[in-house]
């Protein structure tokens, strides 16, 4: 017992715990503020950079502390382990984002129609100089889209335009899309929204084009990130999930699926 009273405390243990805790709190507060619109996205990206730096430093400190505890029999195991765990929790979302970066093509604008994608009218007017410009989809990007997301194609529904428009609006509301604009054409209309990523709330502009084709309606969808040079697959996921939800909504409307009350 006397020997334990004179054990040196690993000098990196407490800094590891403190830095990791601060990074976690900063990340949580900044993410909430950004998600609810209090912090603009460019400033939020700077905060994320600081969070990652703090978490990485805490992780290194924790590893060095645990190494010293193992070799020198120093005290401070609890603080070092807490620092290691908190730093890992903070870095986990960024690791997922890094996986998405390498698993998906470097794109920020995804459409089911790669030749004549739905047009952004309201979104184009609302983008400022810090946001990605809305541009035509290049042949190279269209080829990359087709290779990475072959399932993202236009969908045809056996419903008239008016009914399908209401179905689209219901699904958009359920998924938290914010209405942005509506453009009419001779054969249909295009609905524009702002969609947000699930966790951190990064905004993307969404255009859903509906065109009447006799007794059916053809739906094309486009999603374009406002910020960043790589969407990490977020836009393709948004389109796929939305169209799957629209399939379900149409099946309910046409009696293919009967929901229990």
Q: What is the DSSP string of 68-82?
A: HHHHH--B-HHHHHH
Maximum CA extent, the chain:
89
Helix (H, G, I), strand (E, B) or coil at 160: coil
Residue 116 has pLDDT above 60, yes or no: yes
Q: pLDDT-based confidence at 260, cuts 50/70/90? A: low
Cα distance between residue 163 and residue 202, in whole Å: 31
Are the beta carbons of 182 and 192 closer than 8 angstroms? yes
Q: List the single range of 80-84, 160-164, 203-207, 253-257 with lowest mean pLDDT.
A: 253-257
Q: What is the pTM of this model?
A: 0.86
Of all helices (H) and strands (E), which one includes residue 141? helix 139-148
For the segment 221-250, the average pLDDT, to the nearest whole number, is: 95
Q: Is 187 left (phi over 0), alpha (psi -120 to 50) or beta?
A: alpha
Q: pLDDT-based confidence at 7, cuts 50/70/90? A: confident
Helices then strands, counting H and E runs in the chain, come out as: 8, 6
Cα distance between residue 248 and residue 231, in whole Å: 26
Q: pLDDT-based confidence at 2, cuts 50/70/90? A: very low
Q: pLDDT-based confidence at 5, cuts 50/70/90? A: low
Q: pLDDT-based confidence at 1, cuts 50/70/90? A: very low
pLDDT digits (tens, 9 = 90+) for 40-67: 999 999 999 999 999 999 999 999 999 9
pLDDT digits (tens, 9 = 90+) for 137-176: 999 999 999 999 999 999 999 999 999 999 999 999 999 9
Tokens of 259: 């929901």
Are the beta carbons of 23 and 54 closer than 8 angstroms? yes
Q: pLDDT-based confidence at 261, cuts 50/70/90? A: low
Are the beta carbons of 189 and 210 closer than 8 angstroms? yes
Q: Which of 44-58, 115-129, 176-190, 194-208 has the largest mean confidence?
A: 44-58
Cα distance between residue 179 and residue 92, in whole Å: 32
Chain-centre distance for alpha carbon 116: 25
Any alpha helices (H) in the chain, and if so which ranges?
2-5, 13-35, 41-72, 77-103, 122-126, 139-148, 161-174, 234-253
């Amino acid at each position: 017992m006397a020997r334990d009273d004179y054990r040196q405390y690993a000098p990196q243990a407490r800094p590891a715990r403190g830095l990791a805790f601060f990074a976690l709190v900063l990340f949580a507060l900044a993410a909430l503020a950004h998600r609810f619109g209090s912090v603009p996205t460019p400033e939020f990206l700077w905060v994320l950079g600081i969070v990652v730096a703090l978490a990485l430093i805490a992780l290194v400190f924790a590893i060095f502390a645990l190494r010293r505890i193992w070799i020198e029999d120093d005290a401070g195991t609890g603080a070092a382990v807490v620092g290691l765990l908190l730093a890992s929790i903070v870095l986990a979302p960024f690791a997922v984002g890094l996986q998405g970066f390498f698993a998906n093509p470097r794109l920020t604008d995804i459409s089911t129609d790669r030749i004549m994608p739905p047009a952004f009218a309201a979104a184009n007017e609302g983008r400022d100089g810090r946001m990605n410009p809305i541009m035509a989809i290049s042949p190279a990007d269209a080829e990359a889209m087709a290779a990475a997301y072959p399932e993202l194609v236009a969908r045809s529904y056996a419903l008239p335009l008016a009914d399908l428009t209401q179905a689209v609006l219901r699904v958009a509301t359920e998924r938290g899309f914010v209405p942005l604009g509506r453009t009419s054409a001779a054969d249909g209309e295009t609905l524009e929204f702002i969609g947000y990523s699930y966790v951190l709330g990064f905004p993307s502009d969404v255009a859903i084009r509906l065109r009447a084709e006799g007794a059916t309606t053809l739906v094309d969808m486009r999603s374009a990130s406002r910020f960043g040079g790589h969407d990490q697959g977020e836009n393709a996921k948004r389109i796929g999930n939305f169209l799957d939800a629209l399939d379900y909504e149409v099946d309910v409307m046409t009696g293919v699926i009967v929901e229990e009350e």
